[in-house]
Each structure stands twice: as structure tokens, then as C-alpha cells.
Structure 1
């Protein structure tokens, strides 16, 4: 087929023209998008989008491992290790190695773990805490926090330097389970499980590696009955559990404080606490009950489209004050329940919780209000609490229901479980 000169020139120019057209369409799309964002959220929303995109640009493209890859590769679950179980002689203290990640102040999981360690220390145990730090945290810095903030007095070391022989060696999260499995030190293996950690991740490598730790043959000691039943049923683990406690020295009902609020633990970096769902529910509630103050704590929040008190990260003393100013508190958990509902109850603040087996089994309290995990159902449950005519009576009874929920009971349950499993 023959082509004229004009046709050849037109064909040669077409790619450039096509590219210019594509650039024009993209520029027009971006301009319209910017107008829409400004109309909906204003300049603050534009700044937020720009910062989010900038963080994507600077984010490392390689794999950031929460566990040392060599520890995963060394853990051959098809060949369980033969572990030496030292005998416990009468009058000898039970020696326990606890392997955990280093933590800054305010970690709820470490607060619970170290409460148990200190309780056992008071019962004559010889505890040693070993940090497992794939991210390279400074040992001396985190040891100082463990002592000054969490009150640890026992020996603290680094698992990479090796562990001394013990009667019990305890993993405290999924990443620490790998060095506990691999370690040559003597001692029966235990797993102190506070949540179902595969749920912390989208389906992928991390969720699989976390799930595999329940196949390591450890004896599980779990926070609440739901986890014990799940790990026993799904993985055949031997399990015991301890009840959730409540620090009633910090959280208590103050009848002199006037209530006019609803509290919500809003920490977006913890997806299992369903922060986005809670904010949708609060948006609906704010329209129905605009006279009720909304108190958000956990982290500083930006503009949400409704008025609220932006507390950010708070101390226990401040949190006790917030709870006592509130009729109700929204506490959502898509995995194991948090400590927040117990703290709310102790202050006479009624927790509204998403209806799920793990929450009902662990909380086991008649004053908790359950609702389906939809924005309208949760907003309706909050509204029912704040409009209750007999609220003062309900509030006092709720606070009384957790007075006996001592952390000593949790420590005693762990003590019994360890001694039984160790045959003492």
C-alpha cells in the first residue's frame, strides 16, 4: 500500500500529539480533583493529601522485617527440637526467661506482661527478661525504661547474647516465638498470648509467620478464655488463661463529677480497634445528640467534620478524669478485647462494644452494652445510654462490678498454670 507524503508526516506526528493530549487530560483531571478536594475538605485536606503522597515517596521499597529472617529460616517446624526440662528441687525458685520486644512508655501489652512478671517475682520466682530487637533498639535505653517506667527489678538481657538455662522459657509475641523455639537453653516452652496476632496483618507473609508460631508446640497462657479456646481448637495447643484485671487504684467512680460526654479510644495506627468505624458512628451520634461532648484520646486527630475534645495521648490520671465526665465510652475490638472497657466500667462509664464472641466471652459483664458493628447501630447504642433516665444507678452498679477485678487474680492464675505445667 502506497502512502502520500502528507499521510507519512501525519503518522509521524501522531505519537507526539497523542502524548500531549494525554498530558492535557491528566492535568485537567488533577485540576478538577483539586477543586473537589478544596470544596469538600478545604486547604487542610489538600495539605494532608500532599503529606501522605510525600510519605509514600520516601517510604523504603525494601522489606522491613519485624523478625530476623535468619531466625525464621532456622525454625524448622517439621523437626521439633528436643528440649531439656530441668527438675525443680523443693525450695528452689522457679527460673523463668521472658523474651519480649523493647518498649517505650505506655505500651498496654508490656504493662500487662510486666505486671505478671512483678507478681511472680513477689511470689519467689527468679525472672529474667530478654529483649528481642529486630529493629535495632538501644539496649541500655529500653532497659532504663523497663526499670523506671514499668518498675522491673529483675535481670534484663538481650536474647542475641544467649539465654541462661531456666525452668520455663516464655515467648510473649509472635516475633519472640522464633528465638524461643531456636534457643538451645533448657526450659519448658510457654507462650504468653495477649491477642491473635495473625489478625494484625493483611493476608501475607507476616500473617502466615505469626500463625505458624502456634504450631511450635508451646504451652499457651492467654489473656482471657477466648484466646485459650481458639488456640486449643484451631492448633491443638495446650492452654491456660488468666482473667483481665483492672487497676482500681487508678480508675474509680467519682460521684461528684457531672457527666456530659462520650469517650472514644481513637488510635488509627491500630486497625484492630476499628477507629474508622467508630468515627463514622460518632459522626452520626453528634448529629443526633449535639449537646453531648465527644472526648477522643489515644492520638491527636485532625478535622473530623464534628466537634470533639482532642486529648491525644493521655496519662492514666487524665484518662480517669475523662471517663468520669462521660456517660458512655465507645470501645471497639475486632480481635481480643482491650483493657479499656474494664477501665470505663471502674469509672461508671458504660462501654459500648461491638458484638462479637471474643468481647462477650472475655468481658462477661452485664453492664457492657453490645451493638452490631455498623455506624447506625453503634450510634444508637450510645444514644440509648446517654438518654437513660436511671443512669446514676446504672453507673454506680457498673463501677461496683469490677471492684474485685484485681491484677493479683491474673498473676495468681499464671502462677498456677506455670506450676501445673512444670509439675510442681
Structure 2
């Protein structure tokens, strides 16, 4: 009897998923014939930036707001459009939550017309198919290579096709461009801007690297999120073994997890959840190391940690060394002994840790959202030539 009920439940779930997929994919086929578009810029500074939703505490949404705000300062008329027609009041509240000084208007897609903009910018794979309906120059602001988030199937195929439709791709950093080129037939213009961070939010905090060897205590700030690219299961398992191994060497490892919206099922550390910018900065200043997994395009978090003077632990299998040299962080694999030995080597040689931090800081000196937005504007201006 239980088996029949279980099978019936499975069939209902499968049927519901199938119906939902048809609802999701039908508008794509209604709007797109999967031919390369004709894409020509005729001038003008009215920009529409389309997102699925404006989401609170989202790094990707905040980056979009920062780009749009800086473009506003450069003279563009910027409008943020929600593909799923969020209420204007909710959009404005979310935008202020993520970036209190944001510039630009908020509007639902249903309240826009085809000729409202000179440029429309897609920001996520589903939004690409929506911007096709506008009579405007079509750009694609790429913050990550999204097909990698899906199993090989329909979503993978449809997200991968977005890079082949002829939109003008502008990537946040160069890694996306190289990855897209390996996996797709690109048919439009391709550019990238520097991956920036916000200098005003995370100032350098001078710390005493000799304290750890004296106190025999290591405080770790660990970014964990419910996304497989952030290793939300592997990292706690890895750190559980590390904690026990360090304890054998008379070191106490305090682990502070942050970034997760849902509580983590862990017993080896503190689950702090999502933190405000002030709480984040305070955590960075209190800790000795920060740990992040950037398996696809790099996260903003290591930039924030480095700007705060916090030495970073990243993964060799990720993209950190695409943006920084390998002497800017402790690059680990899944071997706990390797990580323990390297940590203790740096702790017992604080000058090496100081050098590591200084190397990382050098990469941040020329970065800013003002500079990256100017690069984006220059890309648009070059279209007129």
C-alpha cells in the first residue's frame, strides 16, 4: 500500500513538473524562432535592464543596480524591468534594500512598450527571450555561465542557446567569455568589463597575525549558500575533518558560516545566515581567514574579504586564479591534510601571511564600479563608430 501511495505521489510530482515546464517554455517558443537576430544600435540613451525579479540580498541583483546607477550618473536614462511583473512599490523597496542610493526607475514588463528603449539589456537566460520583443539594440550582461547550473537537458539547452542568438554580450570579467566560446557558437559582439567591488563598504582592517600561534585559536568566516557552485555540503564536511585534525595539534577552529538563507544542518560551527553589510564587515574584522568556493565566475565575497584585510581560502578547482594570481590566497583541494599543513605554515610564519595579503590587495587598487560602468559606456559609444 505504501509503495502504491509513493508511486502515485511520484507520478503527480512528475506531471506537475511537466505542466510547469510547458508553461515556462511556451512563451520562449512564441517569442523566438532561434534565428540569429539583426542587431543595430541607432543611438539614444534610454536603457531598459530586465531581471526576472528584484531579489533582496542578492549579489547579482545588487551588481545590476550598481551598474545601472553608475550608467545613470553617466547620463543614461535607466529603467529596471521585471519579467514577472513585480509590483512597482515592491521593486523600489527591494532596490533600496540592496542599494540605498540606486538611480533609475522600476517598472513591470507589462507596463512597457516595444519602443520605450534605445537599448535593452538581458541579465539572466530567461530574460533574453523577453528582450527579443523590443525594438531596441539588444545586449546581454552576463554575470555567470548559467547552463552549468542545470543538468544536461531542456534548461541547459535553452540557456546555452541564449549566447548564440546574436545579442551583444558584455561579461562581468573574462572567464564567462572564454567559457561561452568553448561551449557555444557566438554570433554577436562580445566584450567584458572588469569585475569590480565597492570600495566604500569594506575598508582595510589591520590585524595581528601572530595572535593565532599564541592563542592556539583560528576564527574562520565561511561563505555558504544553497547553490552547488558554493559547495554547501562539501565545505562543512571538509571543515569537520579539519577541525578535528587541528584539535589534534592543539588548535581550536571556530567556524562561522554565513550567506545561507536556510539554517544549515551542521554541528561544527555557527550558522549566521544572511548578514547586513555592517554585520559582514564586523565578521571579517573578527576572523583570521575567510573561505569561499568560486567554482564558476568568481563571487564578490573574496573581493570584500581581501578589501577588509582578511586572508582568503579558495579552491584550486575554481576560478579565483583567473582574477588573482595564485599568491593572493590559500588555494586548497579536498585533501584536509594539505589544507591543515598550509594553514599552520602561514600561522607559524606571519610574514608570509602579510605578503599574501599585500599581493591580493594589489589586484584591488584599480577596481571600482565607476570604472567598470565607464567601460560599459565606452562599449556603447564604440557602436556609433
Q: Please, what TM-score do these two structures have when normalized by structure 1?
A: 0.76
Deviations 1:344-383 (A, max 9, x none): 1112212111114633112346312222345554455444
**Alpha-carbon distance change, 301 to 94 in structure 1, aligned in 2, over 3 angstroms:** same
Does residue 1:340 correspond to 2:301, yes or no? yes
Q: Which residue of 2 aligns with 1:281?
A: 238
Q: Secondary structure at the match of 1:344?
A: helix
Is the 1:323–1:329 contact (alpha carbons within 8 Å) kept by the matching residues of 2? yes
Indicate whether 1:417 and 2:379 are aligned: yes
Range with greater deviation from structure 2 (238-247 or 61-70): 61-70
Shift of 1:78: 4.2
- Alignment of 1:217 onto 2:166: yes
Name the CA distance, whole Å, in 2 between partners of 1:231 and 1:255.
40
Cα–Cα, structure 1 residues 86 and 311, in superposed 2: closer, same or farther, change >3 Å? closer
Q: 1:86 to 1:193 in 2, by over 3 A?
A: closer
Instruction: Tell me the alpha carbon deviations over residues 25-71 of structure 1, each in whole angstroms, 9 at most, x when there is no partner.
Output: x9xxxxxxxxxxxxxxxxxxxxxxxxxxxx99997851245984332
1:172 counterpart (123, 130, 144): 123
CA–CA separation in structure 2 for the residues paired with 1:127 and 1:67 = 30
Equivalent pair of 2:238/2:334 in contact (CA under 8 Å):
no
How far off its partner does 1:294 sit?
1.3
In the TM superposition, what is the alpha-carbon distance from 1:205 to its structure 2 partner? Answer: 1.6
Distance 1:377 1:278, change over 3 A: farther
Determine which of 143, 167, 189 is the counterpart of 1:194: 143
Helix, strand or coil for the counterpart of 1:221? Answer: strand
CA contact (8 A) 2:91 2:106 kept: no
Post-superposition CA distance 1:173-213 (Å, at most 9, x none): 001011112x0x32221110000101112222212211111
Q: Which residue does 2:215 correspond to in 1?
A: none
What are the within-5 Å matches in structure 2 for residues 15-414 of structure 1? 62-63=16-17, 64-65=20-21, 68-83=24-39, 85=40, 87-88=42-43, 94-133=45-84, 137-147=86-96, 149-150=98-99, 151-163=101-113, 164-181=115-132, 183=133, 185-237=134-186, 238-255=189-206, 260-267=218-225, 269-290=226-247, 291-299=252-260, 301-306=263-268, 308-356=269-317, 358-364=319-325, 366-390=327-351, 393-394=354-355, 397=358, 400-401=361-362, 402-414=364-376
TM-score by length of 2: 0.83
Residues 149 and 66 of structure 1, relative CA distance in 2, 3 Å threshold: farther
Greater C-alpha Rg: 1
* Distance of aligned partners of 1:138 and 1:412 in 2 relative to their CA distance in 1, 3 Å threshold: same
Q: 1:147 to 1:312 in 2, by over 3 A?
A: closer
- Render the CA deviation track for 1:2-32: whole Å, top value 9, x for unaligned: xxxxxxxxxxxxxxxxx9xxx9xx9xxxxxx
What is the alpha-carbon distance in structure 1 between the residues aligned to residue 365 and residue 288 of structure 2?
19
Q: 3-state DSSP class of the match of 2:233?
A: helix
| Pairwise CA distance, 1:293 | 1.6
What is the CA RMSD across the aligned residues, in angstroms?
A: 3.1
Query: What is the rounded CA distance, in whole Å, between the counterparts of 2:234 and 2:339 in structure 1?
Result: 9
Q: 2:23, 2:311 → 1: CA distance?
A: 39
1:382 to 1:189, Cα distance in 2 relative to 1, 3 A: farther
Cα deviation, residue 253, structure 1: 2.4
Distance 1:149 1:261 in 2: 28
Is the alpha carbon distance of 1:58 and 1:328 closer, same or farther for their aligned partners in structure 2, counting shifts above 3 Å? Answer: farther
Q: 5+ unaligned residues in a row in structure 1: which ranges?
A: 1-18, 27-54
SS in 1 for 2:61: helix
Kept in 2, the 8 Å contact 1:341–1:351? The answer is yes
Cα distance in 1 between the residues matched to 2:342 and 2:274: 26
Distance (Å, rounded) in 2 between the aligned partners of 1:342 and 1:56: 44
Deviation per CA, 1:293-333: give whole Å up to 9, x if none: 21111125445342x23221111111112122222222112
